[in-house]
Amino acid sequence: MKNINLNHKTILVTGAAGFIGSNLVKRLLIETEGTQVIGIDNMNDYYDVKLKEARLKALETTSSANTSQQKSTFLFVKGDISDRTIINQLFHQYQPAIVVNLAAQAGVRYSITNPDAYIQSNIIGFYNILEACRHSYDNGETGVEHLVYASSSSVYGSNKNVPYSTDDKVDNPVSLYAATKKSNELMAHAYSKLYNIPSTGLRFFTVYGPAGRPDMAYFGFTDKLVRGANIQIFNYGNCKRDFTYVDDIVEGIVRVMQGAPAKRVGEDGLPIPPYRVYNIGNNQPENLLHFVEILQEELIRAHVLPADYDFESHKQLVPMQPGDVPVTYADTSALERDFGYRPSTPLRMGLRAFAEWYADFYQKK
């Protein structure tokens, strides 16, 4: 493994206005010195653009609050990774040493009704990133030292082996979203083999936290309960999810960014792909009904909902939705072995942070 110091590097973060992307950029701005962070995001309206704008504003505040002479800087570019011209221009102008590709069309159910968005962003967009990484080595240039990209626990499909290990076969996706993420892993492996690009894929498990994605269950449940609408709990409440707090995800990304797979040559004289895939999950799946119980307690504690709210009358137990899986459960032993890290934020602590943010963002204003 090649160790990379993030200080005084140029780092490209795609999906920088997104949930995970904005938290990663904030962490880099606070903890690195002299680093130039370039962020790109298309600011699409898959969910409320105001939330994305608020994340960017928070990044501006973080950047301006740092008065150090060697402070890290953030430059935001509005653009789409599926636009090859923009990507090529960014790589040519800024020559990033590290690329973190978090831009993607997310969501299992949305992929059933809007497949085009997934092919455009997750396949074509990722291809453009890979091509730009490939050509970063042209003319003897140092090029990209490490490509880190988001995969998903969805690639495991209806895998019966639990916890999910990166050694498990993942050849049977149950949604187009999952298929595109598995495709990303295959494409990255091919480019690592052909062009010796150090790349690491990260399979995220149900990420949650303040300023998260409104299409995620905990956020959608909160919105509906506030409006007095009913929430639907799929598979009659018999789902289990490995909920992972966003700060734990970012910690994992930052550690992985600093440890690129080493370039090696095989007996045939050709590169051994400098390629790795890791799970990042809480390694402790929670029953969905228990999750909803904690959420409602924290929403009352944060005064998002009144203490006498009648939750039972607003809960509906319904069948499983197409593309969903009954359980997600991460085996994080490889991450712990290679980076000494294992996510551990308790669910109640994470949901408390979300509830307090929700009260501040939507209600106190």
Catalytic residue ranges = 177
Helix or strand (DSSP H, E) at 351: helix 347-358
Neighbour count for residue 319 (Cβ, 10 Å):
9
Q: CA geometry: angle at 281 spanning 124 and 43, to 5°?
A: 40
Please report the DSSP string for 140-175 in residue order.
G----SEEEEEEEGGGGTT--SSSB-TTS-----SS
Helix (H, G, I), strand (E, B) or coil at 323: coil
- Say how far apart CA 202 and CA 185 lie, in whole Å: 9
- Say how far apart CA 105 and CA 59 lie, in whole Å: 22
Neighbour count for residue 31 (Cβ, 10 Å):
12
- Say how far apart CA 153 and CA 166 lie, in whole Å: 10
Helix (H, G, I), strand (E, B) or coil at 66: coil
DSSP state of 24: H
Q: What token pair was written down for 265?
A: 């040559």
Closest CA to 359 of 308, 302, 306: 302
Burial category of 184 from C-beta neighbours within 10 Å (exposed 0-12, middle 13-18, buried 19 and up): buried
* Displacement of CA 240 from its chain's centroid (Å): 20
DSSP state of 47: S
The answer to whether the Cα torsion of 204, 274, 12, 254 is positive or negative is: positive
272: which strand partners? Answer: 264
